[in-house]
Structure 1
């Protein structure tokens, strides 16, 4: 339940720890909990999976020992310990229960339950210095007390009932929290009074500058809240071609709101691998980011800027804190006319400035050092 003036006060949550200090020389042994449902593999199911892949590689490059617990089919190079995501066989009689939830929900529940039990047992409790819950599931939060090492959770989304209830379940939630933006930290403040902000970063070597081009680009999961239809309408009003790319997360939305608008100047490139997407974004005049929800971070922004491609989008969620006037133009949320009018001023921005901002603000190095300080502040 969301706390309000009329409701009960939020349960106490452990603070984010003392002020950060330089990381000691000794590497950390980190258990990184990822999605049980989606593999950590390129092409990625979404930004969370891409972020987990990048973070694990970066931590290892800095000498830490990282064990990733993730869904089947993940990148073999990561050495993932697969969580048993097995949809149960539910009898016909049980399916008649009106409280029946989706089979994938049950599979995720039991996968995370088994993982937390395994981590709580000897000798597993001596194998890690810290457990980082990078999933969206509630069980690693609800069961943090069964582990003998510090557990941290990154808040990647707006508040959800399952996570809020997991935080409030014990008298004192034995958990430290980070958030991917100031906006997201503020959204959770009613149940997480203090969250350390560690913004997502991308590998600026893999996301390299491109030459630009004449067409616009939109990338991301094709679901209603990402607003691909707004990008299409703005591109048409601006008289520019638009290339869309990303996994279709909502088939009904794609068929109703995207496919009918495709044609000679509006095209869909499909679900691309990271190198393919880098080439597409880098060869575009500007990236359109048109969320219909309060975007918690916006990884596609960091990717576009690293490619030297300036951003034109809605000033919603965390977007205003990620960009500057040197590399982006933001307009009122939902205003397709204003978005279209901002296209040409965006294209006129310096591609060099866009890349420079990505290196200084959105890089993998900046993110990883911030996580190291966070880890050491809670594991001392």
Structure 2
């Protein structure tokens, strides 16, 4: 089986600090190669992989201002699709622009939809659903107007998130600094509960950060910026709980399962995929408002961190994710062979 894995080009694959789509693409690629699958990763040329690396984009456009996102994205896509007949299957991790090329080649294609952002993108999905096999990353993120080949939850490299039996006393916010992700709500919950809050993540909305986060920073509320590697795992594992008080219907939430892999329970707003990821009263608490979040913080000691870790191991391993994608690839290829006679 020869797979062309199409990565986004916003960040390196894998990302240095932030880049959830690129991270999942890397994790899946490495797991497939470990299983003997012949994978060519189409990504920025500074990417790191055990697969064959192919590409034309010198660097990620979010890191190099000389890279025009639109220009290089279409150069990136053209480079892959010009050689589509070399592969048994194309796995698109780079959103809907690739769909424009799908009718021009015979190679079957899978698209992982990393969050259905808006009704406005439907015209680049609906007309292609007889040609492309769509994967949802949660049941909550399925759009009623589309047909899906599967729902496959993301998996993580569990050995990169060691179990922390004792955790710590502080609360944690881990994610983009943007109104959607609930930094303001996490700060309010920390103030009400009297606990310290450590905030990690890129500033995606500078005005929001300046108005909502920066004025609150003191000895109790601390902002550390983005973090990766071992420092990321330490931040997630040394927390009492992760506060994920989102203001949108989040399609997944890598930091949620990464925290749980460290044994850290999660308190999250009951929106989007959170009820799929978090087992209420077992691996965390699902809440509906600010008061519920404060009550949950007071109860977090009731949860067993070893159980939180074990459930993450059972449900969110990269091995499980890879096995489910391989099963999907085989199903797609079998159906393609049947339809081609």
Matched, 1:227 2:182: yes
Unaligned 5+ segments in structure 1 are: 1-27, 89-103
Query: Offset at 1:161?
Result: 5.0
- Compared CA separation, residues 162 and 145, structure 1 to 2 (3 A): farther
The alignment of Structure 1 onto Structure 2 pairs a total of residues equal to 328
Query: Offset at 1:346?
Result: 2.1
Matched, 1:70 2:64: no
State whether residues 85 and 108 of structure 1, in contact with CA within 8 Å, keep that contact through their aligned partners in structure 2. Answer: no
Helix, strand or coil at the partner of 1:342: helix
- Compared CA separation, residues 72 and 261, structure 1 to 2 (3 A): farther
* 1:207 aligned to which of 161, 184, 208: 161
Matched, 1:303 2:264: no
Query: Offset at 1:146?
Result: 1.6
Given the two structures, how large is their TM-score scaled by the length of structure 2? 0.89
What's the C-alpha RMSD, in Å, of the aligned pairs?
2.3
Given the two structures, how large is their TM-score scaled by the length of structure 1? 0.80
State whether residues 212 and 285 of structure 1, in contact with CA within 8 Å, keep that contact through their aligned partners in structure 2. Answer: yes
- Compared CA separation, residues 50 and 120, structure 1 to 2 (3 A): closer
- Compared CA separation, residues 315 and 61, structure 1 to 2 (3 A): same
Distance across 2 between alignment mates of 1:277 and 1:78: 25
Matched, 1:183 2:183: no
State whether residues 218 and 228 of structure 1, in contact with CA within 8 Å, keep that contact through their aligned partners in structure 2. Answer: yes
Within-5 A mapping of 1:1-380: 28-75=1-48, 80-84=53-57, 107-121=68-82, 124-136=83-95, 138-160=96-118, 163-169=121-127, 173-185=130-142, 188-190=143-145, 192-210=146-164, 211-324=166-279, 325-332=281-288, 335-380=289-334
Helix, strand or coil at the partner of 2:75: helix
Higher relative contact order (CA 8 A, sep 6+): 1
State whether residues 119 and 147 of structure 1, in contact with CA within 8 Å, keep that contact through their aligned partners in structure 2. Answer: no
Query: Offset at 1:307?
Result: 0.3
Query: Offset at 1:149?
Result: 1.2
